[in-house]
Every structure is written in C-alpha cells, then in structure tokens.
Structure 1
Amino acid sequence: MRKVLFLFACLLALVGSGMAQVKGPDYKSLEKDLSKSNEAILNEKKAAKPKTWLARAELLQKISTSYQGNAYPGMDMKTFNLLCGPAVEQREEQVDGASYQVMVMPRSDFYFFDGVYTYYKVTKPLVDRPLDKALEAYRKALELEPKEKNRMKIGKSLAELEKLYVQEGISYYTQKSFEEAHGDFAQAVAICEMPEVNIVDTILYYYKGLANFQTGNYAGATTDFAVAIAKGYSNNGEEYCVFYEAATKADQMDEAKRMLEVGIEKFPLQQCIVLDMINYYISRDEDPKMVLPYLDRAIAGDSANAPLYFVKGVVYDKLGDRDQALAAYHKAIEIDPKYVDAYYNIAALYYNWGAELQNKAVDLPASEQNKYDALMEQASEKFHNCIPPAEEAIKVAPDHRESLDLLKQLYFRYRAEDGMQAKYDAVKAKLDALGAGN
C-alpha cells in the first residue's frame, strides 16, 4: 500500500529508549504477585475496594512491559546483551523474504534486522493479553471509586496504559500482525475517549486506519482516516491520498473525490493529491482537464517547482495534447536538469507517438501504399526523436531501467544505422549486468 508501510518506520520513535536498569525481569516474583491478585479479586471484601483493582492493573502493566524488558527498537545487539543479558539461544529466521537474527530469551523472542532490534514476540506469557486485563481492572476501579479526585488519578494511569497499547500496536504492525495491531490501536483510542482521560490524540485514529487497511477493512479505514483528519491530523496532505486509496478500494468514489477536493484546497503543492485527482477523473471517464486549474494555481505560487511542471506534462500527455506536454516536461528539465523522469516521459511520449503512427500505417489497405510509406516515415522520425531524451536520462541515472529498456528496443530497431549496433550491445550488456537483460 502506498505511503502506508514506510510510515511505521517513523512511528518506532514513540517507543521508549531509556536504559534504566540492567537487571532482567523477575518473572518468579511477577508470577507470585499475579497469583495473589487472582486470589484478591475473588475475595468479596477485597474485590469491593478500588485499590485492589488498581494494584492489579499496575501489576498487569508491569507484566506486559517485562516481556520487552530493557530492549528498545533501534538498539544494536551489543547494547541488547548489555541491557538484557545473554540470549538463551540465537537463530536465523526468514520473515517475508528477509533474514532476521532472533535472540531467544526466557519468555520472548527478539528480532534483529541487519543487526538492529526491530520487534519482539511473546512466546511464554504469564497471562494472555495483560493490557486488556489491565484495562478491565482500571474500569472496575473507576466503577468502585466515588471520589472525583481519585478518578482523575486513575485517568493518569490509564494515559500510561494507552502508551503501552500504542507501543505494542506498533510492534504488531512491524511484524505484520495487523489484526492484533488494530486491536491495540482501537483500545488506545477507547482509552483516550474516556472522560477521565479525555486526550485528543489524532494520530491514533490514523494508526487504526492503517491497520484496518492492511486487514482489508477499507470502509473501516476510511472512517478512521476521516476522523483523524477531522480532528486535525496532518502529514503534509498525504493523509488525503491515503484516504483516497482506502475509499477507492471501498468503492466510496464520491467521498474519495470530496476529500481530494478538500485536500487540494489545503495542500495545493502536494503532488500525490494532484495525481490522485487526475487518476480519479481518468478512472471515472471524467475530464482530467479539471485538475489543470489547480496545477496552474500551484505553479503561480511556486514557479520554480519542477515536479509541478512534470505533473502538468503528465496531465497534458493523458489528454493527448503532446505539444503542451512536451513544453511542460522541458520546463521541468529547465528548472532541474537532472529530472530523469521528465527525460524519460519525453522519450516515452515520442515512442508512443511513433507506435500510434505505425499502427495507423499497418491498418491501411494495400492499395494505399503512398499513405503507408508516409506514415511509416513519420513513425520512424518519432522513434528517432525518442533516443536523445532517453540517452539524457541514463546520463543522469545510469541504472534507469525504463530508459535502458527503451533504448535497447530502439537501438535494435535501427541497428543497421551507423553506431547503433555498438550502442545496442552496450545497453544489453548493462541490462544483463543489472539482471534485467534478455
């Protein structure tokens, strides 16, 4: 999903990185305390006291944090050994094609990618879903606590529990356990909305939407994204593009368009919104020309912005106005001489133009030889026009596969011309070296 998975690399910053203590979790004491707590809530007198449930909630939070111990995402293996102690076992594990080093600890496995700690999995829990049970205990304490002052104190403890849910949710998301991640984010949202907590954490709705998207609940994702945006969440306009993607998959096209219109008003320079607006009009067989006023307004406010001219070129290209498209692409290159995509799009425009003329020639009846020859000559001219911008593209980016593939076809087509065979051999060798040659 676009702009979804890479966002969570940033979210790991929320996870604490304190190096408070080197001593590992005392699971025997935790197990003993849990047994006492289980007995206490079955005792009628003790179970009627808020402090019994508060103590239980705090214990369950402590159990939850014990599984990760002193580890924090981003730490290296040397630091892990210092803070968490030696692993019981080490092994290699393949996850989605990536190789992870796994440090096996008494109750959790810690996953390292390229030597950096990424996430953990609980293998031997003292109790299932300790955070959920902690939340239940806090709710019971609130139910029993009549004093407003004490209820507000419980609210502060709940705010700490919310952070643990977010931390655990991010860990689940990182390991692609999206259902579990969604559950944690949903609980975090529920805590924030409790009157004793009353925190407006807009990004939580966004996290919840991302997890919903990954589970295939696109309608749920659009609801979450809409709430996040309405409450003030912003990521430079990209949130509207993510909403659009979810709404498209949920077949909510009217709402998708409405949100794009809102987004483009607020973020006229956000390229993904403009491109999504174009895609909307094209996918709905509506006129992409509708987006041009937005582009012109954006360019008026930032005339040195090469990507805006590039997008304008894409619009005109899709509209079939090749002259305007070429003018826009060339303007982008004038501003940024290393704009490889603009070079490639010019080359592709000429190539498609040549292919169109060639197809017209092929469709002519045999009796119209003169028209056939004229069209083929025009097609050849366009194919030749394709070569210089594609060559410029690989000067800027020598490994640009699309340009190399295009040049390979053209050099082969004109291999009888002076120098073309040598160029073909060089490009083919380059593609072979990149693993893309045939």
Structure 2
Amino acid sequence: MDINQRGIEAMQKGEFEEAATLFSEAIEQKPNNPISYINFGNLLSAVNEPEKALKFYEKAIEINEDSATAYYGAGNVYFNQENYDEAKNMYEQALKKGLDQGDLHFMLGMCLFNLGQNRLALPYFQRAVELNENDSDAKFQYGLCLAQLELIDEALVQFEEVIELDDQHADAFYNIGVAYAFKEKSEKAIEMLNKALEIQPDHMLAGHALKIMNGNMEK
C-alpha cells in the first residue's frame, strides 16, 4: 500500500495527525505529485482549516492544471463559506477536467439553486439522480427545484421516491403534502402533513400548513 493510501486510511479512521504525517512524507518523497497535495487539502478541510486547504488545492492545480479533484475540493471550501459564485466556477472546472460524479453535479446544482438560478440547476440535479439513484438528498433537491418551477407532478415523483428510500424524511412528507394541496387533494395533503409532524413534531412549516388546510376543510 502506498503512502497516500495509508494516509487516506488513517484519515478515514479519524487519525488526523497520523494522516498529516503520511501526507507530508508523500509530498517530501514526490513534491510534483498533485495527489498528495489534494489529499492534504482534503485533510485540512476535514479538520476545519479551509484557508490552508485552499493553498494545497491551488498547489495541486499549479502542478497539474487538469487535477479535477483539486477543483472539486476547492469548490467545497468555497461552498461551505457560502461563496456560491466561486464554488460554481471551481465545480465547472472540475467538470471540464473530466470529473463526472453524482456528488459534483449535485453540488453544482446546489450552487445554482442558492444563487436563485433554479432552471439552470435542474439538469445538474437530474444528472446527480441519474448517476446515483439511491441518493435521497439529490432526489429531494431535484424535487424542490422542480416544485419551484411549478412542475408539481414531476416533483411529486421525486419526493415519493425519497420517502421510499427514507421513510423518516419529514421534509419530503411536508413537500408531498404541499404538492397535494396545490393539486386540491386536501385529504391526501392533510395525511402527508400529519406524517411529517409525526416524524418531526416541531416541523413549523408542516404545522402551519396543516392549520390552513384544516381551517379550509371546516369552511
């Protein structure tokens, strides 16, 4: 097992000091190997040292401008700092350099969604779901994006698939309830909102929506 792999294993076990030592040795042995810098950047991100992490990702890109995972790592740093424009730029570079993973498409979608560009976000969420059909987070965000664009039937499909994967997903039940309310299927909407509150009793949005629905039913 090479030294970088040993460092990754140490990091996965939470042995961060050991991982740092191994990645440092890897850099000393092969200073022109971008992978060691990316791994160190990932480690620094994991221990909440984002600015230091960025330096390592930048060094990896300096050594090899086609280091797709370095752009992805930098994108994650910017995303966590809520710098969605810069994160989007980094993720787009990762995509251009050949990284075609569900997580990357999901994060690009999240950037655009947070920037209010829902229509542009939609194909990235769709691709994320295609690449990983069991990713409930991707399905949920895809559903939200469809709902924002008033594609209610398509959104419902995604939310229902979310609860098939995770039957404790209160937000998915809430959004199914809202979708049924939009379609004027009041009984079904109330059933779904009650389910959301059963899972999460302090779900304020579900509670508020249920009061409105019950009030309308009493009229």
Work out whether the TM-score is over 0.5.
yes
Displacement after TM superposition at 1:216 (Å): 4.1
Mark the CA change 1:342 to 1:118 in structure 2 (over 3 Å): closer, same or farther. farther
Residue aligned with 1:158, SS: coil
**Are 1:344 and 2:210 matched, yes or no?**
no
**Are 1:185 and 2:57 matched, yes or no?**
yes
CA contact (8 A) 1:192 1:201 kept: yes
Displacement after TM superposition at 1:209 (Å): 0.9
- The residue correspondences of 1:82-93 to structure 2 (distance < 5 A) are none
Displacement after TM superposition at 1:225 (Å): 2.1
Aligned to 2:152: 288
Mark the CA change 1:245 to 1:312 in structure 2 (over 3 Å): closer, same or farther. closer
Task: Read off the aligned partner of 2:112 and give its amino acid letter.
Answer: A
Aligned to 1:316: 176
Output the CA distance in 1 between the equivalents of 2:191 and 2:120: 34
Aligned to 2:211: 355
Mark the CA change 1:358 to 1:323 in structure 2 (over 3 Å): closer, same or farther. closer
**Are 1:307 and 2:166 matched, yes or no?**
yes
Q: Which has the higher contact order (CA 8 A, sep 6+)?
A: 2
RMSD: 4.6
Displacement after TM superposition at 1:260 (Å): 1.4
Larger radius of gyration: 1
Mark the CA change 1:14 to 1:322 in structure 2 (over 3 Å): closer, same or farther. farther
Residue aligned with 1:224, SS: helix
Output the CA distance in 1 between the equivalents of 2:175 and 2:211: 20
- The residue correspondences of 1:6-405 to structure 2 (distance < 5 A) are 14-15=7-8, 74=15, 117=17, 158-159=32-33, 162-193=34-65, 201-229=67-95, 231-234=98-101, 237-283=102-148, 286-293=150-157, 305-307=164-166, 313-319=173-179, 320=181, 321-324=185-188, 343-344=198-199, 352=208, 355-356=211-212, 375=218
Which is worse superposed, 259-268 or 304-313? 304-313
Mark the CA change 1:305 to 1:287 in structure 2 (over 3 Å): closer, same or farther. closer
Give the structure with the higher percent strand.
1
CA contact (8 A) 2:35 2:60 kept: yes
Output the CA distance in 1 between the equivalents of 2:46 and 2:168: 37
Displacement after TM superposition at 1:217 (Å): 3.2
Output the CA distance in 1 between the equivalents of 2:18 and 2:118: 37
Residue aligned with 2:15, SS: coil
Displacement after TM superposition at 1:317 (Å): 0.4
Displacement after TM superposition at 1:343 (Å): 3.7
Normalised by the length of structure 2, the TM-score is: 0.63
Mark the CA change 1:314 to 1:265 in structure 2 (over 3 Å): closer, same or farther. farther
Displacement after TM superposition at 1:306 (Å): 4.8
Displacement after TM superposition at 1:353 (Å): 6.6
Task: Read off the aligned partner of 1:232 and give its amino acid letter.
Answer: L
CA contact (8 A) 1:203 1:233 kept: no
Task: Read off the aligned partner of 1:170 and give its amino acid letter.
Answer: N
Give the structure with the higher percent helix.
2
Structure 2 unmatched ranges of 5 or more: 21-26
Mark the CA change 1:353 to 1:176 in structure 2 (over 3 Å): closer, same or farther. closer
Normalised by the length of structure 1, the TM-score is: 0.36
Output the CA distance in 2 between the equivalents of 1:185 and 1:259: 24
CA contact (8 A) 1:312 1:325 kept: no
Displacement after TM superposition at 1:208 (Å): 1.5
Q: Provide, for residues 29-60 of structure 1, a one-character-per-residue CA deviation record: whole Å limited to 9, x for no partner.
A: xxxxxxxxxxxxxxxxxxxxxxxxxxxxxxxx
CA contact (8 A) 1:212 1:221 kept: yes
Residue aligned with 1:257, SS: helix
Displacement after TM superposition at 1:210 (Å): 0.8
CA contact (8 A) 2:45 2:53 kept: yes
Output the CA distance in 2 between the equivalents of 1:344 and 1:244: 28
Output the CA distance in 2 between the equivalents of 1:274 and 1:202: 25
CA contact (8 A) 1:316 1:325 kept: yes
Task: Read off the aligned partner of 2:177 and give its amino acid letter.
Answer: D
Task: Read off the aligned partner of 2:199 and give its amino acid letter.
Answer: Y
Displacement after TM superposition at 1:73 (Å): 6.3
Mark the CA change 1:171 to 1:229 in structure 2 (over 3 Å): closer, same or farther. same
